Amino acid sequence: MIYRATESIKKGNMVLIYDSDDREGETDIIMPAHAVTPKHVALMRRDAGGLICVAIHPLAAQRLGLPFMSDLLKHANELAEVVEKPGDIPYDISSSFSLWVNHRNTFTGITDIDRALTINEISKAVQSSLNGAPVDFGKEFRSPGHVPLLRAAGNLLNERKGQTELSIALAELANITPAMVMCEMLDENTGKALSKRDAKLYAKNHDLVFLEGSEIVEAYENFLEFRSLSRRTDG
């Protein structure tokens, strides 16, 4: 299933990821940020209904100067009381939210066209930063905006196993730019997250790959082990 998923996102397609029963218990639609079109944005807001975000590799986030939103709020004394506290999130110890941005070539930033443009340009910025090219993020983007950025944990799945890290790990496995769009699938009838059963049915009906978070964790651990062994052998 991992092979099918990596091949799918290499082609710019969507896949579904379910994190775990003991975490959020949610399924996200994810796809490469560079491949997003206005039609993809429309599909995610219509069929998923959650927040359309872009997860970013931690090294790219560091090079682009993207902070964690929780750190920014800690320095805003008048807002100190709303800052999350350790253990304040019921399913994790911290949030991966960074800035919310619009690309400067957008108008309002909220339309499908505007959000697709912002998402595409975020991917370009991530790729440039990882290639060692200087990127003036503030010149390209304005904040606040309508596309939330998620900064993956520094050690990815060794540190945190959220949808942010799962999607970036999958991008690494597929060897594509590690900037991934994600949107939670919600159920308009129950008011809750879409059940795993219904998410699997959606995947089947739309010919999409459905992945358990544990499948990505296992594949990524094998990937890291193989990479470490290769480096020792080359050395």
Query: Could you tell me the residue ranges of all domains in the chain?
Result: 2-234
- Rounded to the nearest angstrom, the gap between the alpha carbon of residue 194 and the centroid of all alpha carbons in its chain is 18
* Residue 177 DSSP one-character state: -
**Confidence at residue 11, expressed as pLDDT on a 0 to 100 scale:** 97
3-state secondary structure of 157: helix
**Confidence at residue 49, expressed as pLDDT on a 0 to 100 scale:** 97
Tokens 């218990």 — which residue? Answer: 25
Alpha helices in the chain (DSSP H): 2-10, 38-43, 58-64, 69-74, 112-130, 137-140, 163-174, 196-205, 213-234
Residue 222, C-beta contacts closer than 8 angstroms, at least 6 positions apart = none
**Confidence at residue 87, expressed as pLDDT on a 0 to 100 scale:** 57
**Confidence at residue 232, expressed as pLDDT on a 0 to 100 scale:** 67
**Confidence at residue 201, expressed as pLDDT on a 0 to 100 scale:** 98
**Confidence at residue 38, expressed as pLDDT on a 0 to 100 scale:** 98
**Confidence at residue 225, expressed as pLDDT on a 0 to 100 scale:** 86
CA distance 1 to 17: 12
**Confidence at residue 82, expressed as pLDDT on a 0 to 100 scale:** 60
* Active-site residue list: 28, 53, 91, 102, 146, 184
28-56 as b/e: b if 16+ CB within 10 A: bbbbbbbbbeeebbebbeeebbbbbbbbb
Q: Which CATH class is domain 2-234?
A: alpha beta
* Residue spans of the chain under pLDDT 50: none
**Confidence at residue 127, expressed as pLDDT on a 0 to 100 scale:** 98
In the chain, what is the greatest distance between 2 CA atoms, to the nearest angstrom?
57
Q: Rg (Cα) of the chain, in Å, rounded?
A: 17
How is residue 98 written in tokens? 């960074």
